[in-house]
Amino acid sequence: MSQDKTAAKQQADLLEPFSAALRERVASREVLLAEAKAMTARQRKGRKAAASTALALLLAGTVWWLDPAWRTEQVLVAIGAQREIQLADGSQVLLDSGSHLRIERRLRSRQLELVEGQARFFVVHADAPFIVRSQGVTVRDIGTVFDVRSDVRGVRVGVLQGEVEVSNGRGEVQPLQANQQVLASVAELSEVQQVDSVALDGWRQSVLRFDGTPLREAVVDLQRYSEQPLRLADERTGGLRLSGEFDSRQVRALLEQLPAVLPVTTVRGVDGGLTIGRKD
């Protein structure tokens, strides 16, 4: 063995105790690679968890903003009856004959849809807005008592106490205060009309009031209290005007007496429906 090799071996032997100690303190290449892989996996997992949390927060925010209905309840009132219900927030609704109300449970608002008929809303104040929809028309409560009637003529909104905002799909908004009413549709909002509380309260007392009302409109009101279909023979008949106060619980008797009040004839069909025609 040459002197150089001998010297190198002697140096290595001298350093061996220190090398062994260093190996005990410093991980091997394989261990370092394994730890690096584990750290990368943890980082990826952390990023995935952060992304999942961010996505969940985004979805929750979107759902909150969209305010979807998570539960819906249907309320139907029989012909000739009235029904009073109390909502979860303590507000009350009085529904008239033949009415159909849809109650929606939402995240950040109190919303109902009057599909058809007539209802009075006694609203309890709360942070969540109280909204009634019908035929594309929206009534937003501002602490009040108000009526909504929905039929083929459109949506009539009348206020007894407080104030509401009536809007349609065209962006028109009409504020209403006590003793005011408006007829609304998605196409337009009528001019605000003054109306007394007696007129607004008539239906609650089972009173139908007509004051020179065209028969075509009076029949729409009468139909809500009649189980049998009511039909007009022609447009001329619909132009006749009806006046007086009548008991909505006695609509059948009123229809039988109609020829004594107006120049009309009535013919009952095989389906039990009544056709009203003008006398020549």
CATH number, residue 233: 3.55.50.30
Nearest alpha-carbon partner for 176 in 156, 196, 162, 155: 162
pLDDT in tens, the chain (280 residues): 555 556 555 555 555 554 555 455 555 666 656 666 766 666 667 666 665 665 555 444 444 345 577 789 999 999 999 999 999 999 999 999 999 999 998 887 899 999 999 999 999 988 899 999 999 999 999 888 999 999 999 999 999 999 999 999 788 899 999 999 999 999 999 999 999 888 899 999 999 999 999 999 999 999 999 999 999 999 999 999 999 999 999 999 999 999 999 999 999 998 889 999 998 7
Single residue among 199, 221, 254 that ends a domain in this structure: 199
Asked whether 80 and 65 are in contact (CB, 8 A), the reply is no
* 244, β-bridge pairs: 210
CATH number, residue 146: 2.60.120.1440
165 and 189 part of one domain:
yes
pLDDT of residue 69: 73
15 and 89 part of one domain:
no
* 85, β-bridge pairs: 93
Q: Residue 217 is part of which domain span?
A: 206-278
What gap in Å lies between CA 152 and CA 135, rounded to an integer?
A: 10
103 and 194 part of one domain:
yes
181 and 143 part of one domain:
yes
Task: Count the neighbouring beta carbons within 10 Å of the beta carbon of residue 23.
Answer: 10
109 and 133 part of one domain:
yes
Single residue among 66, 88, 113 that ends a domain in this structure: 66
pLDDT of residue 51: 57
> Which DSSP symbol is given to 249?
G
168 and 232 part of one domain:
no
Task: Count the neighbouring beta carbons within 10 Å of the beta carbon of residue 125.
Answer: 13
Helix (H, G, I), strand (E, B) or coil at 165: strand
pLDDT of residue 28: 60
Helical H segments across 145-275, by residue range: 197-201, 215-223, 235-238, 251-261
7 and 37 part of one domain:
yes
Single residue among 66, 91, 121 that ends a domain in this structure: 66
Number of domains, the chain: 3
Cα first-last separation, the chain: 143
168 and 241 part of one domain:
no
90 and 179 part of one domain:
yes
- φ, ψ for residue 15, nearest 5 deg: -85, -15
142 and 218 part of one domain:
no
Helix (H, G, I), strand (E, B) or coil at 68: coil
185 and 121 part of one domain:
yes
38 and 147 part of one domain:
no
Asked whether 121 and 103 are in contact (CB, 8 A), the reply is no
125: which 2 tokens? 């104040």
